[in-house]
Structure 1
Amino acid sequence: MKTHYNRLAFSIASLLSLLLLLSSCGLTNNYAKKGEVYKELYAQKPLSILVMPPINKTNKVEAKEAVYASLFHPLVERGYYVFSPILAQELLQSESAEDAELFIDGNLKPFDNVFTADAVLFTVINKWQKIVLTNTIDVNIEYILKSTKDNKILFQRSADVTVDCKVANTSSMLLNLVANALATALSDNVVAARKANGFVLSDIPEGKYAPLHDKDQDTPAQPKDITGRVNL
């Protein structure tokens, strides 16, 4: 009986040890440090970023402009020098180089030579869908930051975001309809793009012009693919 009890105790202890090991592995994966996830970015320490016009795989033409216009500030706030999207687009157009699809898998050295950019940010809009019944918009965007020195990926994430475009209800049904229509027409595209960009780029390691530059390597990194729901 004692032998049986000892074997049972040993089995339980072994099982608990295994569960603890698996749990530790899971925690390690869930809370990987930025220094591990973005190792190449910390090694190259890019100072300047050129934002390319988004690659729009949807039929929503306005999505491209909304995303492009709202990428500048999140990167600047993270401590990077970012070329003005307006000026950059004009120069890209003059060089017939505004089509990001032609460069996302190609040699980026010319962007270093022309712009003196250390890295180029590509975005791919995979989904931009307005749901009329729920007054929401679903957005899926992929972000890829690549080095102009060796084409290596420095940062890559995607965001699947649902933006709730509803506004506060009033006592008038007509006013509700007008208010919702105005909110949707004027701001849902911009807000959806801004929210998605903010979610994703908040995880990029801080650049030279931010206080935690090269000091945030032990900070937990967010998941590579994130989902969320935000309000206007």
Structure 2
Amino acid sequence: MSKFLSLKLWFALSTVALLAACAQQPVKHADYTAFKNARPRSILILPPDNTTTDVQASNSMMSQMTMPLAEAGYYVVPVAVMEETFKQNGLTTAGDIQQTSPAKLREIFGADAVLYSKITQYGTSYRVLDSVTVVSASAKLVDLKSGDVLWQGSATANSNEGNNSGGGGLIGMLVVAAIKQISNSLTDKSHHIAGVTSYRLLQAGPPRGLLYGPRSPKYGTD
């Protein structure tokens, strides 16, 4: 057997072993102790901290975060009410708004908990042989009475998930990549992917998701 084939065999066996080891590792569950003690009923969503270069990222993400929380069984303070309240008080950027103390947020909005979030990736990038739209974000839920972190998580989604298409040669791949780039730009693909990321980030259920809220038929079962 040649050295090249031996190296390929070693790499293949190592990959299989690594995947097997990962598969055997137990899923780590989140610590829900503080969450269960607080049992929030209402949540205030603050504008996400946008660390990307796309100025639309924060509004796009925030507009799609209410639904998964509502589906999880929580009352969510209307985003328009939140934005207008801060605007009337001279706060318009996510950074300034997120500096507001938990006690002040509870006094103004009367919510039980507040959701802080951060966007780390948002947009479409063109590669030599492909074009991909990626949205990544993280979030944490904080109790507005105690200031304790009740839950935190992260999620990502991209436009190439489940895409196993191949063939067509180099020219074909370049053409497909160019078409995808144009299509993603014209159809605001990032906004669609942000919706997938929002749902993954804020869906309820173990082992890493939020606990179900009091408006959910699954409340108390987790």
Partner of 2:142: 146
Instruction: State the distance in 2 between where 1:96 and 1:148 align.
Output: 22
Instruction: State the distance in 2 between where 1:98 and 1:108 align.
Output: 18
SS of the residue aligned with 2:219?
coil
CA gap 1:152/1:68 in 2 versus in 1, 3 angstroms = same
RMSD: 2.8
Read off the aligned partner of 2:66 and give its amino acid letter: F
| Structure 1 position 116 matched with structure 2 position 110 | yes
SS of the residue aligned with 1:61?
coil
* 1:101-112 superposed matches below 5 A: 101-102=95-96, 104=98, 107-112=101-106
Q: Deviations over 1:168-187 (max 9, x none)?
A: 9xxxx9xx877863454323
Structure 2 unaligned regions, length at least 5? 1-21, 166-171, 204-208
Partner of 2:214: 208
SS of the residue aligned with 2:188?
helix
Contact 1:128 1:138 in 2 (8 A): yes
| Structure 1 position 69 matched with structure 2 position 63 | yes
Instruction: State the distance in 2 between where 1:89 and 1:186 align.
Output: 26
Instruction: State the distance in 2 between where 1:26 and 1:180 align.
Output: 38
CA gap 1:97/1:118 in 2 versus in 1, 3 angstroms = farther
SS of the residue aligned with 2:212?
coil
Read off the aligned partner of 1:86 and give its amino acid letter: A
| Structure 1 position 160 matched with structure 2 position 144 | no
Report sequence identity in percent. 22
SS of the residue aligned with 2:85?
helix
Partner of 1:89: 83
Read off the aligned partner of 2:60 and give its amino acid letter: A
Instruction: State the distance in 1 between where 2:35 and 2:108 align.
Output: 22
SS of the residue aligned with 2:221?
coil
Contact 2:134 2:190 in 1 (8 A): no
SS of the residue aligned with 1:164?
coil
Q: Deviations over 1:138-177 (max 9, x none)?
A: 22211111111111111111113222399x9xxxx9xx87
SS of the residue aligned with 1:212?
coil
Instruction: State the distance in 2 between where 1:122 and 1:71 align.
Output: 11
Partner of 1:131: 125
Contact 1:79 1:209 in 2 (8 A): yes
Contact 1:53 1:98 in 2 (8 A): no
Q: TM-score, length-normalised on structure 2?
A: 0.72
CA drift at 1:194: 0.7
Structure with max Cα Rg: 1
CA gap 1:137/1:178 in 2 versus in 1, 3 angstroms = closer
Aligned length: 182
Structure 1 unaligned regions, length at least 5? 1-22, 217-232
SS of the residue aligned with 1:110?
helix
SS of the residue aligned with 2:189?
helix
CA drift at 1:92: 1.4
Instruction: State the distance in 1 between where 2:182 and 2:49 align.
Output: 28
Partner of 1:190: 191
